[in-house]
């Protein structure tokens, strides 16, 4: 996490007004209506209020739309092979001249490109909500001209500069580096002949680091199934975030509804056109073809696409109908090849350093994640009490005090003798004789998000007698086994949990708290798995099976993209971008084991199956396999997989089958996917989640150094 910088005390209006801008705009509009009277004073006041409203909204513009445009430029222009993302130099800092040239003074600098993009957002566009009785306009200067208007007299743009960061040496994790672009914001309010202008000077500080795979709504390297079956995007396809493949896409849309790719700009659809990628490819090992396949028309190259509707709006009609996918966030048919990670070395090291590391060769029978609270009804001592899920019926609503992680595995114990047992609350159960039993060992971990020990892991071990016919809560309390008391995992109080759970095997079941009542088909009855303050990455070498709901306590988004009357698509509402809880599930795969991330379905053992309408909040990734549903083409209809996050996979994983005539599912699950915009708009990613080879904007800070008003 980036540490606060010394200039933070200088933050003024823009950084604060990103939160209150919308309210201020409404107040300004209302005040204009209330004070509209005759006379010069009234006109000046009205124009000033409009200018202030526009200036207030500038913070939100700088934090989201401008950041998105800068991210696109950083993706393409940042130097990923030398010591510095922007600039050159062999010392501890890049030379100031080289940074200025790369960021602001050269004709092809970052500032020049950003200016073009920002002009496209703001020029000739009245500020919405501030038009009652007048108009308001906004210009942002990163260069000396914005919207073909020169920089105001008296305003200045210093050269860009480097702030902090370590050089990249080519080994280890690429360090984050922070740079600053000076800016000037001009907010104008006009009422009749009166114009009032507010000029704000400041610095746009942005941190550059390796982009995370979490930034994709969908990523495939080979856009086919594991068996080589072609995947076609149809009218049922609705993605509201970035989509990429290292190969090529196929589109089928004979009816009025076409495949839709949207969301807030920029949310591009990109393809690298690699003919034959492999799981170990770091670059495309074969030839590339730029374009896509349209049903009945075959593969079409870029020139053919441009001649049939245009690069961003292709349309091909034939005997099978019209195939015209919608790309509301942009499209690129000749993108860079993005290699998938080759190992989990970073995640393993993180787990061993300050995370949770499951020993080599050990498979987990259960990994349970719970946003929990201590059980206050237990008669056990406080330091031995169990953690329970949140009670969704409680009034007022409960909030999680701890994030709980429970890792269970089976182990055979040599020897024989009498076993003393108790239930979860310390009540004695009958003693039994066991010989070389196989028991379930559960290592439990918990941490809180606030207070003096925030982030510090506590742990304990519970051992269950899992013999046939034994109660599932029968704890083995013979000496050397169950220890109910919570103790610190690390003696060093400064060593806090980094969020990584690394498993050097498979995870047979990963789930959150169960639904109430058990067997419910309503995911709303499941308590959250990830506390509002928690950020967790589960990294497994040989595969993960999801068998239960995995929900956030603090939701970033509500709803899913849906197609309304006339075929129009209504995106999900993702306006809680300040939510901090996030989950990543990542499986690398090994020789002979593709490392799939699967949703349990149609297994004879019911504990290996996910519930109907399973809800998953998180980013799911398989480097060499798929993210999909087990036995997707058999078994019953299971409702919908409700995902807030993204899917990154080598092959495209199937979730179910459907009747082409009725559109209804016949086996497995349907999809209702919502892209978690935080991973693109704010740079949030699960801890130590795999990164791509290009840089992205990980954080922005908007500093305003001065503001002045002028009357025209």
220 in a domain, yes or no? no
- Alpha-carbon distance of 222 to 279, in angstroms, equals 9
Q: Report in angstroms the alpha-carbon separations of 284 from 143, 289, 385.
A: 38, 11, 54
**Do 280 and 371 fall into the same domain?**
no
- Alpha-carbon distance of 628 to 686, in angstroms, equals 20
235 in a domain, yes or no? no
- Alpha-carbon distance of 687 to 602, in angstroms, equals 32
**Do 457 and 553 fall into the same domain?**
yes
**Do 525 and 638 fall into the same domain?**
yes
223 in a domain, yes or no? no
Classified as helix, coil or strand, 27 is helix
Q: Structural domain of residue 171, as residue ranges?
A: 35-210+699-711
The candidate with the shortest Cα–Cα distance to 313, out of 297, 299, 330, 301, is 330
Let me know: does 222 contact 286? Beta carbons within 8 Å.
no
pLDDT at residue 554, rounded to an integer: 98
pLDDT at residue 41, rounded to an integer: 72
Q: Report in angstroms the alpha-carbon separations of 527 from 210, 549, 671, 672.
A: 34, 9, 22, 20
**Do 319 and 367 fall into the same domain?**
no
- Alpha-carbon distance of 426 to 15, in angstroms, equals 53
pLDDT at residue 7, rounded to an integer: 31
406: Cβ–Cβ under 8 A, 6 or more apart, which residues? 366, 367, 368, 369, 370, 442, 443, 444, 445
**Do 448 and 580 fall into the same domain?**
yes
Let me know: does 408 contact 423? Beta carbons within 8 Å.
no
**Do 181 and 280 fall into the same domain?**
no
Strands 366-374 and 507-511: parallel
Let me know: does 329 contact 266? Beta carbons within 8 Å.
yes
120 in a domain, yes or no? yes
Classified as helix, coil or strand, 10 is helix
pLDDT at residue 264, rounded to an integer: 60
Q: In order along the chain (712 residues), what is the average pLDDT of each group of 10 residues?
A: 32 34 44 48 83 86 88 90 94 96 96 96 79 83 97 93 92 86 94 91 95 95 95 92 96 88 77 93 92 96 96 94 92 93 93 94 95 89 91 96 97 94 91 94 97 96 87 89 95 96 97 96 97 98 97 97 87 93 95 90 97 98 97 94 98 90 85 94 92 89 84 60
Number of folded domains that form the chain: 3
pLDDT at residue 131, rounded to an integer: 58
**Do 195 and 249 fall into the same domain?**
no
- Alpha-carbon distance of 226 to 652, in angstroms, equals 7
- Alpha-carbon distance of 561 to 672, in angstroms, equals 8
What burial class does residue 286 get, using C-beta atoms within 10 Å of its C-beta: 0-12 exposed, 13-18 middle, 19+ buried? exposed
Q: Can you point out the beta strands (E) in 514-630?
A: 535-540, 544-546, 562-563, 569-570, 582-587, 597-599, 615-622, 627-629
The candidate with the shortest Cα–Cα distance to 204, out of 14, 445, 427, is 14
- Alpha-carbon distance of 386 to 373, in angstroms, equals 9
231 in a domain, yes or no? no
């Amino acid at each position: 996490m980036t540490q606060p910088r010394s200039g933070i005390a200088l933050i003024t209006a823009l950084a604060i007004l990103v939160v209150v801008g919308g309210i201020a705009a409404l107040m300004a509009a209302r005040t204009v209506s209330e004070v509209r009277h005759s006379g010069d004073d009234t006109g000046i006041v009205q124009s000033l209020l409009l200018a202030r409203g526009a200036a207030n909204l500038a913070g939100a513009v700088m934090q989201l739309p401008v950041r998105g445009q800068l991210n696109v430029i950083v993706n393409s222009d940042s130097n990923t092979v030398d010591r510095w993302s922007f600039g050159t130099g062999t010392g501890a800092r890049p030379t100031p001249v080289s940074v200025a040239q790369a960021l602001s003074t050269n004709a092809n600098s970052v500032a020049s490109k950003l200016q073009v993009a920002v002009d496209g957002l703001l020029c000739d566009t009245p500020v919405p909500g501030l038009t009652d009785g007048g108009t308001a306009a906004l210009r942002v200067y990163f260069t000396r001209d914005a919207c073909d208007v020169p920089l105001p007299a008296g305003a200045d743009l210093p050269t860009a500069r480097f702030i902090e960061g370590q050089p990249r040496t080519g080994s280890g994790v690429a360090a984050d580096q922070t740079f600053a672009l000076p800016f000037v914001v001009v907010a104008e309010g006009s009422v009749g002949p009166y114009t009032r202008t507010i000029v704000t000077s400041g610095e746009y500080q942005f941190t550059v680091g390796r982009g995370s795979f979490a930034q994709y709504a969908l990523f495939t390297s080979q856009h086919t199934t594991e068996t080589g079956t072609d995947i076609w995007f149809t009218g049922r396809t609705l993605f509201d975030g970035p989509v990429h493949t290292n190969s090529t896409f196929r589109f089928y849309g004979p009816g009025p509804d076409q495949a839709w790719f949207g969301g807030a700009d920029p949310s591009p659809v990109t393809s690298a056109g690699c003919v034959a990628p492999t799981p170990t490819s770091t670059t495309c090992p074969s030839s590339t073809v730029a374009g896509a396949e349209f049903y009945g028309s075959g593969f079409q190259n870029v020139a053919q696409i441009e001649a049939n509707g245009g690069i961003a709006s292709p349309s091909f009609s034939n005997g099978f109908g019209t195939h015209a996918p919608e790309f509301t966030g942009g499209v690129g048919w000749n993108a860079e090849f993005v290699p998938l990670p080759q190992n989990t070395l970073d995640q393993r090291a993180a787990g061993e350093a300050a995370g949770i590391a499951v020993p080599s060769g050990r498979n987990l029978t259960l990994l349970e994640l719970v946003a929990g609270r201590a059980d206050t009804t237990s008669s056990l001592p406080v330091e031995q009490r169990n953690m329970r899920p949140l009670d969704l019926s409680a009034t007022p609503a409960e909030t999680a005090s701890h994030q709980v992680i429970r890792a269970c595995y089976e182990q055979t114990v040599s020897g024989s003798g009498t076993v003393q047992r108790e239930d979860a609350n310390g009540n004695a159960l009958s003693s039994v004789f066991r010989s070389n039993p196989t028991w379930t060992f559960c290592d439990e971990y918990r941490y809180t998000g606030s207070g003096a020990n925030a982030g510090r892991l506590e742990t304990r071990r519970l051992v269950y007698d899992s013999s046939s016919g034994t109660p599932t809560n029968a704890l083995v309390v013979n000496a050397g086994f169950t220890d109910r008391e919570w103790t610190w995992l690390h003696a060093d109080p400064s060593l806090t949990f980094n969020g990584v759970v690394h498993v050097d095997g498979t995870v047979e079941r990963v789930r959150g708290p169960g639904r109430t009542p058990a067997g419910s088909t309503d995911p709303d009855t499941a308590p959250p798995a990830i506390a509002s303050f928690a950020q967790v990455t589960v990294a497994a070498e040989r595969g993960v099976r999801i068998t239960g709901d995995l929900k956030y306590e603090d939701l970033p988004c509500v709803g899913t993209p849906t197609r309304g009357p006339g075929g129009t698509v209504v995106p999900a509402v993702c306006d809680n971008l300040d939510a901090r809880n996030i989950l990543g599930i990542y499986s690398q795969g090994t020789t002979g084991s593709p490392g799939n991330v699967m949703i349990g379905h149609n297994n004879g053992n019911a504990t290996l199956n996910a519930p109907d309408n399973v809800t998953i909040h998180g980013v799911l990734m398989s480097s060499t396999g798929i993210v999909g549903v087990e036995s997707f083409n058999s078994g019953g209809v299971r409702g919908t997989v409700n995902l807030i996050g993204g899917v990154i996979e080598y092959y495209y994983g199937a979730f179910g089958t459907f009747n082409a005539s009725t559109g209804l599912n016949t086996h497995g699950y349907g999809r209702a996917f919502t892209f978690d915009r935080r991973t693109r708009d704010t740079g949030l990613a699960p801890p130590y989640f795999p990164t791509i080879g290009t840089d992205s904007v990980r954080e922005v800070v908007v500093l305003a150094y001065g503001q002045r008003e002028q009357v025209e």
